[in-house]
Chain A
Amino acid sequence: MATHETVTPDRMTPGPTRAGDLLPPARSAFGRLREIAGLWLPALPLILVIALLLLAPALSLVIGSFRDASGFSIDPWIRVITRRGDQAAILTSLALGATVATLCTLVGAPVAWVISRMLPGRRAAWLALFTVAGNFGGIGLGFAYYAILGTVGMLTLAIQGVGIDWVPPRPSSFGGLVIGYLYTNVPLFVLLTIPSMGALRDDWWEAAQVASATRAQFWRRVGLPVLAPFIAAGWLLIFTWSIGIYGLAYALAGGGAAMTTPLITLRIGDILATDFTETWRANVLSVILMAIAILSLLAYRVTLRRAVRWFR
């Protein structure tokens, strides 16, 4: 009887069925389980990977940065923030990211504009070149630096060959890192911003002409205001990207003794490779890097929302 009673109301008021639901409305605990499985099972492996290999490690770092032998503590943070070497690494990483992003913007924005207005065939060729260059990074690119701008690099020899006494920036110096970083990041900036250059429609320039505006007037009053947020978004992306680069930095400035430019990523890698007693320091630095990246990415979102506000 009891069973009967519990079933009846179910029959009389069948649960809402969504169109396309594979399973009949749940009738029992087992049926409910099946329903949940039907909704989530195909995505389960990916969700597990995300949870265990991305979310959990990030969380564990954040939690770990607030612990020492005695339990919860902000001591590790204080010790990192107050230490010269770590401060230098943080500031240098920020400065490097900002410098690279700014230079990328100055070079990349005009290039992206010019390429976005090319005929499709030509544009495809340029995109291919930038794609290849943008993907040539890491150790291989670091090596190319030595081959070109090393003490016996191609360009060094060429310039000295014509009698100019020129010493190229050392790869591990700030300038050397900037040159190396620019190589992948300028193409990346161009590839990122070309689509948004399409936001500036050709008929606005025509309408401006009809309205008697000069080219300069058009850029100042319409072109730049429309594109600026997109370009700023590109800047933020390159900034985020740059401060997280490790392979290339390692190739250029990672050779232990040659390490003249401290960077957060290099500090982390170095500590993990050599000094197990300092892992907590790497942990705090990681969380700082994480925080910078997340903040800058949030700024990117906000900027992009601003950028598209005129188009919704």
Chain B
Amino acid sequence: MSSVSLRGVVKRYGSVTALDTVDLDVASGELVALLGPSGCGKTTLLRTVAGLERHDAGRVAIDDEDLSSVPTRSRPIGMVFQSYALFPNLTVRQNIAFPLEVRGRPAAEVRRRVDEMLDLCHLGIQADRYPNQISGGQAQRCALGRALAASPKVLLLDEPLSALDALVRVRLRDEIRRVQQQVRITTLYVTHDQAEAMAIADRVAVMNHGRIEQLDHPAAIYDDPSTPFSAAFVGSRNAVPVVVRDGEVRIGPARLPAPVGTAGTDRLVAYFRPEEVELSDDPEDLPVRVELVVFLGPVTRLHLDAELDGGPVRFHLDLPSRQAAAHPVGSLRRIRIDPSLVRLFPAATEVHP
């Protein structure tokens, strides 16, 4: 088992800094998801590990061996491309055999290993089809089989599910996780889908503008965003502008101590989840008006207008759908927020992912 380590990795394309001093450690057998919006540098990071891009500064190592001068073909990696990049002139079986054959492994070993991979990826029936004769999901599994065939130390996946439709996506996500845990391979998994990242990863690295903003376990990322970007990008949070007054911040009757380092009249943004907003009967609580009711399946989201610090503010509140009928558009209600669930960040860095 092997670990990946990046130290101060920088990659520039002309004036664009695609990777801005990235530090990342992936433990042996761990799956780390790189999560972030399009263009934040996820692919670049992955390709740097693969050696398909040369980094401008820093160190990329697998098992403490510096890879900077090692060409892609000598790196102990397997990779699943976003487009799969299956060789069109080779069958599924031949594609999976390719990494073994170019390494000059004996035919018998190649055959045995390919069969293992076909089995692992449930591709037995499609083994002798060409890439244009199989479905997107099968192509994805074939790409996975090819990446794993030569038993690499590290597996790299670049948005492996983005080309698939929603139903297949969930099934294959779990499939990839099963395979990864079965072979216990150290894995970097790029995605822009936070649900996917949360579901599959041991740890999630939230990326923005070529930096890793937060690296933690999915639950921690979800519950305790450490930067406004993580707060805004992960989950769909309420982002309510507030002002520091007398060393504290008020959202209706809820009072929060202002974060250290803020002064009076500083503008902040309060982040909290729609399911953390509660309806209440207490006349002390914040009065709101239901503006829009959006059915989302298990929950229904109410869009609520209120007035805060003299300005109009919109809240989102999630209710179990069965209870939503009691709150039609136009009705007047009161809401309350548990101060301990609110995260405050300076307003200047407010982010709209």
Contact = CB atoms under 8 A, between A and B. Distances in A.
Interface of A: 201, 203-204, 206-214, 217, 221-222, 225-226, 310-312
B52 A212 contact: no
B132 A311 contact: yes
Given A211-B98, A214-B102, A201 B131 contact: no
Interface residues on B, range: 20 to 34
Nearest to B79: A210
B98 A213 contact: yes
Contact of B85 (A207, A217, A221, A225): A207
B81 A206 contact: yes
B102 A210 contact: no
A213 B102 contact: yes
Given A210-B77, A210-B78, A212-B73, A217 B89 contact: no
A212 B103 contact: yes
A225 to B, nearest CB: 4
Nearest first, the 8 A-B pairs at minimum CB distance are: A310-B88, A211-B99, A207-B85, A203-B85, A209-B72, A213-B102, A225-B89, A210-B79
Nearest to A201: B85
Contacts of B51: 209
Contact of A203 (B77, B78, B81, B98): B81
A201 B85 CA distance: 8
Interface string B217-238: 0000000000000000000000
B52 A206 contact: yes
Given A204-B85, A217-B102, A310 B131 contact: yes
19 contacts: A201-B83, A206-B52, A207-B81, A207-B146, A209-B51, A210-B50, A210-B52, A210-B73, A211-B102, A212-B99, A212-B103, A212-B150, A213-B99, A221-B90, A222-B89, A226-B88, A310-B130, A310-B131, A311-B88
Contacts of B90: 221-222
Contacts of B73: 209-214
B232 to A, nearest CB: 32
Q: Which of B71, B87, B130, B131 has the most CB of A within 10 A?
A: B87
Contacts of B98: 208, 211, 213, 221
Given A211-B102, A212-B73, A310-B130, A206 B85 contact: yes
Q: Which of A208, A210, A221, A226 has the most CB of B within 10 A?
A: A210
A221 B87 CA distance: 9
B21 to A, nearest CB: 25
Contacts of B72: 206, 209-210
Interface string B75-104: 101110101011111100000001100110
B69 interface: no
A211 B132 contact: no
B15 interface: no
Contacts of B77: 210
Q: Which of A208, A211, A212, A311 has the most CB of B within 10 A?
A: A211
A213 B99 CA distance: 7
Contacts of A311: 88, 132
A216 to B, nearest CB: 10
Interface in B53-82: 71-75, 77-79, 81
Given A221-B98, A222-B87, A226-B88, A212 B81 contact: no
A226 B89 CA distance: 6
Given A201-B83, A221-B98, 10 more contacts: A207-B85, A208-B87, A210-B72, A210-B77, A210-B78, A211-B102, A222-B89, A310-B131, A310-B132, A311-B88
Contacts of B103: 212
Interface string B119-138: 00000000000111000000
Interface string B268-281: 00000000000000
A208 B150 CA distance: 13
Contacts of A208: 87, 98, 102
B87 A207 contact: yes
A201 B72 CA distance: 18
B85 A212 contact: no
Contact of A212 (B74, B83, B88, B130): B74
A128 to B, nearest CB: 26
B91 to A, nearest CB: 11
B310 to A, nearest CB: 54
A207 B73 CA distance: 9
A207 B79 contact: yes
Contacts of B85: 201, 203-204, 206-207
A226 B90 CA distance: 10
A163 B176 CA distance: 73
A210 B157 CA distance: 12
Contacts of A209: 51-52, 71-73
Contacts of A312: 132
B132 to A, nearest CB: 6
A207 B132 CA distance: 17
